Each structure stands twice: as structure tokens, then as C-alpha cells.
Amino acid sequence: MESPLDPAVAARLKRTADGLVPAVAQQYDTGEVLMLGWMDDEALHRTLTTGRCTYWSRSRREYWVKGDTSGHVQHVKSVALDCDGDTILVKVDQVGAACHTGDRTCFDAGELPLS
């Protein structure tokens, strides 16, 4: 299947065996890490062209746009690949909660103890 992405971008991506790349959503102005989702080429293309984060749901096996059902929209401010091309960083302006539990971030369930 041909990628909908710019060939230069598609060539940089290192995908998992199922064609996905982890995408970290970060609040653009505070640096707060909000959540991790998964994108394939189509989800990344939609994110880049619509200004709204689109992810691939591994459990439902379908695309979902953050906020379409909850109203907790992610407005894309910038998108970057890491040095290896195996992780996407999406800086967003998050409206409301990022986590499906209703929390602002998926990473506030408590820190793990260090030894």
C-alpha cells in the first residue's frame, strides 16, 4: 500500500511490525506530557493536514480523532520525529482532559519508587 505521506517523511519512519509508530502528545506551552497514542502513515497524514490529532486504535482497529466524542480536542501546534524516526512528538493545545479516565494527563497515576 502506498503511503499518503510525503515520500521524504515516509522514508524516515521506522514502524513496528504492524506498521505503527508511537506518538507522544505534549502540551505545547508547558511541556506537560499528556498521553501516548499510535499512528500509522494515514493517521500521521491526517494529523499533519487537519491540525487535529488522529490516532490508530489497536483495540478497535480504527482511526479516532482526539476529542470527537469527548470534546477534549488536541489542536496540533507542531510535529517532530525523533533522531531514529521511531517516535513522533506532537505538541498540542489540549482542551480538557487528555486521558480516557478524565484526568488531564495519562501520567498522573503516581510515580514509581526508585531504588
**Binding-site entries for Zn(2+):** 83, 99, 106
Q: From the annotation, which residues make up the binding site?
A: 82-84, 86, 99, 106
What residue numbers does the annotated binding site for Mg(2+) cover?
82, 84, 86
Cα distances (angstroms) measured from residue 66 to each of 26, 69, 74, 99: 13, 8, 6, 10
Task: Please state, in angstroms and rounded to a whole number, the distance separating the CA atoms of residues 72 and 100.
Answer: 10
